[in-house]
Amino acid sequence: MGDSKRIVYWIRRLSELAMLGWLGLMLLIDLGIAVSLDGIQWLVPATGAAGVVAVMLRRRHRLTSLAVLLALSAGVSVTMGVTGFGGVPGCAESGALLVLTIGVLRHAEPVWRAATLSFGVLVVLLAEGAGRGFQNSGLAFSFLLFAGWSLAAGAGGYLRFQQERRTEAIQSVRRSERLELARELHDLVAHHITGIVVQAQAARTVAEMRPEAVLPALDAIAGAGGEALTSMRRLVTVLRDDDEAARTPGTSLADLRLLTERFAANGPRVAFEIGPGIDDATLPPEVMTTLHRVLREALTNVRRHAPGASWIEARLRLSDRVAGLRVRDFGSAADARTSGLGGGFGLVGMAERVEALGGRLHAGPVPEGGWEVVAEFPLP
């Protein structure tokens, strides 16, 4: 786990603890009020305790927790309103409802359900203020609760808007990758079919002079056809699946080396190492071209985000039928303003292509400094 991810993890944990501590303090206030008023006011801290539990369970049972808390809060408000007790709204209860409102507006699907639940929270909060109007202060309580709900609804709506914007951007990247793949699929098919046609014509010529050589030629044609079908199945699967994407045919190891040389001509020096056992025949064409895309994107990211890098190391290795490409920059610390923002859409495109071939991609800062991109592909 990179330093930035570890920092984000602990920030989330501490914020969760701070929120629960804040609700705990509100619950203590509810207990103090219940001691002074007595009677059915004790229902308020009990509902507040249920609200704290609902907040703790909100990630696994978001809608259920909110529905149960809404029912309990509405029941207490109706009870106090019917009996004329004139209690005080619960601090922990109201705080838990506001926290759950933010989460529901951000995550609940579809959006009409999120809006309906949010409106239900508003009704329950207003009922809480009106039904527990201690010493004719119901209007003031209702105004405060409405103001709190407005802030929570605004925060939840903003977070949902930002999340949907990012989702749309990611989907746009995926659509772009699949459209590019559709063009590349034509080239791949043409490449394989041309080879098959050439071998078939050669087999026909050989059959007239050496009939015994026809069977090996037919085996070669069958092998080429099988390779074409395998590659096309993998790529067509990407076109059909919204969660995957693609490649470019015709790339060789020489193209990878040429890419690093062109980059080094106008940027940091690149040390590109190809491990033993790797040649153009070792890697399937779709893996080779995806490696080219990953290497190009990784070098572009170095130029964009680490212009002060002194040199770049790129290694292509083969181990246990897994081809791995590692690209790492040296001599330049990651920019704190960008390393904490998560992966960009270029990384999304790389991950789409790698995962489409059954591989995995990791990108992030390394403890020694700099940035590292690792792509691994299982080979047939």
Which residues touch 150 (CB under 8 Å, ≥6 apart)?
Answer: none
Residue 3, pLDDT score: 53
Per-state percent for the chain, helix, strand, coil, to nearest 5: 70, 10, 20
Contact present, 89 and 138 (Cβ < 8 Å): no
Q: Is the pLDDT of residue 59 over 80?
A: yes
Rounded CA-CA distance 229/226 in Å is 5
Strand partners, 365: 371
Q: Is the pLDDT of residue 226 over 70?
A: no
Q: Is the pLDDT of residue 208 over 80?
A: no
Which residues touch 70 (CB under 8 Å, ≥6 apart)?
Answer: 97, 120, 121, 124
Q: What is the CA radius of gyration of the chain?
A: 31
Regarding pTM above 0.75, the answer is: no
Q: Is the pLDDT of residue 315 over 60?
A: yes
Average pLDDT over residues 18-30: 91
Residue 245, pLDDT score: 40
Average pLDDT over residues 4-10: 71
Rounded CA-CA distance 374/290 in Å is 13
pLDDT, tens digit, 9 for 90 and up, residues 333-358: 544 333 433 445 567 777 777 887 78
Residue 227, pLDDT score: 66
Contact present, 113 and 107 (Cβ < 8 Å): no
Show contacts of 67-75: CB within 8 Å, 24+ apart.
69/93, 69/96, 69/97, 69/100, 70/97, 70/120, 70/121, 70/124, 72/47, 73/47, 73/97, 73/124, 73/128, 74/124, 74/127
8-state DSSP, 335:
P
